[in-house]
Amino acid sequence: MFKNIIELKNINKVYKAVGGDTKALKNVDLNIKEGEFLAIMGPSGSGKSTMMNILGLLDTPTSGTYILNNRDVSKFNEKELAKVRNKEIGFVFQQFNLLPRTTVLDNVLLPTVYGDIPDPKGKAESLIEMVGLKKWGSHKSNELSGGQVQRVAIARALMMDPSIILADEPTGNLDTKRSINIMKLFQEINKKGSTIVLITHETYLAKYASRIIHLRDGNIIKEEMNK
Amino acid sequence: MKFASILKQSFKAIMSNKGRTFLTILGIVIGIGAVIGLMSLGNGVRESISEQIDTLGTTNLRVTSIPGVNSSMPENFTDRRNGSIEQPTNYPMGGLSQSLTQEDLKAIEGISKDVVSYSAGYVANQVEFVAKDRSQIASLLGVSPDYFVLNSFSLESGEYVNSESGNEIVLGSELASNLFVEEDPIGKEIEVHNTAFIVKGILGEESESNISNPNLQAYISDTKAFELFGTEYYSGITVQASSEDTVDEAKEKIEEALLKSHEIEDASLADFSVTSSEDLLSMVDTIMTMLTSFLTGIASISLLVGGIGIMNIMLVSVTERTREIGLRKALGAKTSDILIQFLTESVVLTLIGGIFGILAGYLIGTGVGRWLDIDAVVTIDSIILAVGISSLLGIVFGIYPAKRAARLNPIDALRYE
What's the average model confidence in pLDDT over A34-62? Answer: 89
With CB atoms and an 8 Å threshold, state whether A83 touches B337. Answer: no
Of B16, B337, B410, the CB nearest to A101: B16
- Asked if pLDDT for residue A211 goes beyond 90, the answer is yes
Contacts of B223 (CB under 8 A, 6+ apart): B102, B142, B163
| B178 neighbors B136 (Cβ within 8 angstroms) | yes
Give the separation between CA A182 and CA A169, rounded to whole angstroms: 11
Please identify, in words, the CATH class of the domain defined by A37-60+77-225. alpha beta
Return the DSSP state at B205: P
What is the count of residue pairs from A and B with beta carbons less than 8 Å apart? 64
pTM over 0.80: no
Give the separation between CA B255 and CA B59, rounded to whole angstroms: 16
Pinpoint the alpha helices (H) of B321-334.
322-330
Domain chopping of chain A, boundaries: 37-60+77-225
Contacts of B2 (CB under 8 A, 6+ apart): A113
What's the average model confidence in pLDDT over B141-170? Answer: 87
Domain chopping of chain B, boundaries: 3-51+283-415, 67-270
Supply the pLDDT for residue B161.
87
Give the separation between CA B61 and CA B279, rounded to whole angstroms: 9
Contacts of A93 (CB under 8 A, 6+ apart): A153, A168, A170, B327, B330, B414
- Asked if pLDDT for residue B331 goes beyond 70, the answer is yes
Of B2, B326, B332, the CB nearest to A111: B332
* Highest-confidence segment of A104-113, B207-216, B246-255: A104-113
Give the separation between CA B393 and CA B31, rounded to whole angstroms: 11
With CB atoms and an 8 Å threshold, state whether A110 touches B331. Answer: yes
- Asked if pLDDT for residue A22 goes beyond 90, the answer is no
Give the separation between CA B367 and CA B34, rounded to whole angstroms: 13
Q: Which of residues 397-416 of B touch A (CB under 8 A)?
A: 410-411, 414
Select the residue from A59, A96, A101, A142 to test the B interface by mutation, using most B Cβ atoms within 10 A: A96
Of A53, A96, A160, the CB nearest to B411: A53
What ipTM was estimated for this complex?
A: 0.91
Nearest to B56 by CA among B176, B211, B184: B211
Give the burial string for A56-79 (b: 16+ CB within 10 Å, else e): bbbbbbbebebbbbeeebbebeee
* Helix, strand and coil in chain B, % to nearest 5: 55, 15, 30
- Asked if pLDDT for residue A16 goes beyond 90, the answer is no
Pinpoint the alpha helices (H) of A30-117.
48-55, 78-88, 104-113
For the stretch B13-33, pLDDT in tens is 888 888 888 998 998 999 999
